[in-house]
Structure 1
């Protein structure tokens, strides 16, 4: 019986819907939960220049016992920094991501095949200098020239790689084709005899787990998956495959399955698609744009088109400010989602003079009383007081503001998240109000989440007042 390796990519490949919005705390919770499953490896995303990325990896490395594999994009110049971020892990690994199809090589690395082989040799050696466990991931392998793929794998193994992953990035293979693909590599690259062979299979055609099973039957020793659907076979599917067909395929796994479903359910609350976890009014407001993600390669035209789809109508000056701020974020992360774009717009665009200021507020709330809010605002030196009631303290506070201004604006979106950790954590709130078909966003931050929400509402309100003046 061959024990296969199960590698989880939930943190590295959470899907575009979630890549840009997972908080530091959520990443730690996902890692901690995955660690309980006794997986063979947990994969981490490639880090950027931001210290937060390195801090996230270092924190995870200190708290899990499962092997940690950190992705390194070839030629990124971040090999040493990536190693430093995981070196304290019990079983650290470096995963060098290398495009091997002609299109991807020339587009991503701007190199032809001979120069690419030299780069592979240099980069694998550099990774091996820092870490004894180095994985060579052949990205877009199924669209690569076969002879070049074999040479690339030989070069990587000779340079020190002790794991090779074949990535069907485009999802173009059927199960029998993938089996033949794996067999061809093993037959033509004798160096693979002492090297682990993993597969990362796209579920583009809904056959991801079938292709993975075919690859395992052909001699692959590990399969990559995600806890929730993200374009790859899921952890549950791999576990079911081993449970139901393990004896027939002569394979087993060390995965802890006793509470697998409960664990996946816990992870789903963090990794679930954004559009499933957001309120219905946001779905209506954003429509098809809810799952859109952008990266540093997108032009100002692309970004502003999404901004307009989100309901904003910004000036040329604000468009430029938003794009400049967007690039700062995108250069540090792989993706920027609509939630982050919301925050960028709220903090960058439409900054206006303050019309309404918060003087003080008193909130009463409990499980046996109706929530009430007593707010005192100041406008042009005049004190304005309002009392509101609601289903909760924030709802009551917003009602009190409406009592003061004498107008009800449609609440287009409302988001709350923590900014820092601990008992004195800072909370951030984002409020979007709709007036005359336009969307106005405001942000607020405070150790008091109710206060942050009130500040965010007033920030959006001030933009409406300024625009209507």
Structure 2
């Protein structure tokens, strides 16, 4: 593979892999995972600090909210190439161009389906018409930027000859990156290697552009398929934090990056990811979306570096390499800290936040977080790093919400009907409600409904502990549904009922944001 000159990256060494993060676009298309603009901005800044090369900020034509979030990210986030997704329709491409034009480095990513199944039933277009649309869309996109990516949606189920014709047309029209996605997670590693090797050898000009791989995880093969594509010549990896995405998700950034770092013998590639920031980014996304990762999730699951077996523990005590192929610190895990407590001051708290991966919160946010920390320290014997992460994220993500928690009193027991006295701030005005319920949580949620009437139905209510012990903070997740729209909210507190109401309010605020959104008419690559 020869050195490639790219408009946004210059000369790219043949072993260099570009990390294209689509957490804010493909990841956000998961049911219940939508984010408001402030949440997207915070995630975008964290992804930039992580070191992603390309950030797909959204689908600008999908809604006014999506357009605005992409535009704001393009204006404020420095470092990565900012890209907006667009179908082959001219209106999509123009809208994407408007959204990313303020970025210091920008890209338009346009796509169209190329498989017989998609062309016949989804597009209702003949192959020649699709081929013409490829040329027209890339040509139009090049009028707005020198960096254009073209994707063959359902590329792994596309007929070989037609795929090569489409790729050739896109390159001739000016595409600088060609993406061949496994849109439905159908491929196996052998398929990916064969397809990318075919494109490299058969398509004129393929050696002058970046080939990209975008794999879905329907068969649990996304990371394996991605590595197979890279071994066959792909030099851009499209992925998401925690592997979120439509259906079973996408290639997990943390897994593919650490596979490359851990196995240079099998994957001798380089990337720009600051791996020590992986865990922090993963936890922030979990807080924003309301979805925790599974305990046994590779790299970022809480059991990823846990050893319970006596045999394993014995080996670990003698040499950690016996059962750990990477160090916990390499991805951001730290030894549990027991030094933060009620006597810790603001300076120590600020320093702790920096070690946990937080940037400057600002004086107001720092003051609120510090006060919550002091309150927590008064109630807990030991404050762990995870406790601080939970309370800071819980507070910071609510900076610009219409509904805010103020105070709660609950009476419950086996001989009387549970009662909740709740005070909220709605659009800056404090309101209160006194409600009864079948249980304390039901009473609290009824009080919320009295203060802020709505038609959303509760679809999920779950509670877990942030750390160990009877004084551990509870982390609660609430899922609401309104007219087919799903949102998830999270809340954390040592009082389980307070955590529940915080989660419910978080979900309501996200629902308010989502009400104005519309969904794109077609699925993306």
Q: Same fold (TM over 0.5)?
A: yes
1:158 partnered with 2:188? no
In structure 2, the residue matched to 1:142 is 156
Deviation (angstroms), 1:394: 5.4
Q: Tell me which of 227, 235, 239 is aligned to 1:225.
A: 239
Output the CA distance in 1 between the equivalents of 2:407 and 2:422. Answer: 7
Q: Tell me which of 195, 198, 208 is aligned to 1:184.
A: 198
In structure 2, the residue matched to 1:252 is 270
In structure 2, the residue matched to 1:239 is 257
Output the CA distance in 2 between the equivalents of 1:272 and 1:8. Answer: 20
Deviation (angstroms), 1:429: 6.6
**Kindly tell me: are residues 440 and 5 of structure 1, through their superposed partners in 2, closer, same or farther at Cα, counting changes over 3 Å?**
closer
1:101 partnered with 2:115? yes
Deviation (angstroms), 1:172: 1.7
In structure 2, the residue matched to 1:23 is 36
In structure 1, the residue matched to 2:99 is 85
Larger proportion of helix:
1
In 1, are the aligned partners of 2:32 and 2:289 still within 8 Å (CA)? Answer: no
In 2, are the aligned partners of 1:414 and 1:431 still within 8 Å (CA)? Answer: no
In 2, are the aligned partners of 1:364 and 1:371 still within 8 Å (CA)? Answer: no
Output the CA distance in 2 between the equivalents of 1:43 and 1:365. Answer: 39
Output the CA distance in 2 between the equivalents of 1:440 and 1:268. Answer: 19
In structure 2, the residue matched to 1:170 is 184
**Kindly tell me: are residues 365 and 124 of structure 1, through their superposed partners in 2, closer, same or farther at Cα, counting changes over 3 Å?**
closer
In structure 2, the residue matched to 1:56 is 69
Output the CA distance in 1 between the equivalents of 2:291 and 2:192. Answer: 29
Output the CA distance in 2 between the equivalents of 1:247 and 1:409. Answer: 54
1:393 partnered with 2:407? no
**Kindly tell me: are residues 49 and 43 of structure 1, through their superposed partners in 2, closer, same or farther at Cα, counting changes over 3 Å?**
closer
Q: Tell me which of 186, 207, 212 is aligned to 2:221.
A: 207
In 2, are the aligned partners of 1:411 and 1:432 still within 8 Å (CA)? Answer: no
Q: Where does the alignment leave 5 or more consecutive residues of structure 1 unmatched? A: 277-362, 373-387, 417-426, 442-448, 457-469
**Kindly tell me: are residues 105 and 412 of structure 1, through their superposed partners in 2, closer, same or farther at Cα, counting changes over 3 Å?**
farther
- For each residue in 1:336-379, what CA deviation from the matched residue of structure 2 results, as whole angstroms up to 9, or x when unmatched? xxxxxxxxxxxxxxxxxxxxxxxxxxx9958xxx589xxxxxxx
Output the CA distance in 2 between the equivalents of 1:213 and 1:151. Answer: 25
Deviation (angstroms), 1:227: 0.4
Deviation (angstroms), 1:150: 0.3
- For each residue in 1:214-248, what CA deviation from the matched residue of structure 2 results, as whole angstroms up to 9, or x when unmatched? 11111111111110232111111012111112344
In structure 1, the residue matched to 2:48 is 35
Output the CA distance in 1 between the equivalents of 2:113 and 2:135. Answer: 14
**Kindly tell me: are residues 115 and 170 of structure 1, through their superposed partners in 2, closer, same or farther at Cα, counting changes over 3 Å?**
same
Q: Which runs of 4+ in 1 moved over 4 A?
A: 363-366, 394-399, 408-416, 431-434
Deviation (angstroms), 1:76: 5.7
Q: Where does the alignment leave 5 or more consecutive residues of structure 2 unmatched? A: 1-13, 295-404, 412-417, 459-479, 483-500, 509-525
In structure 1, the residue matched to 2:378 is none
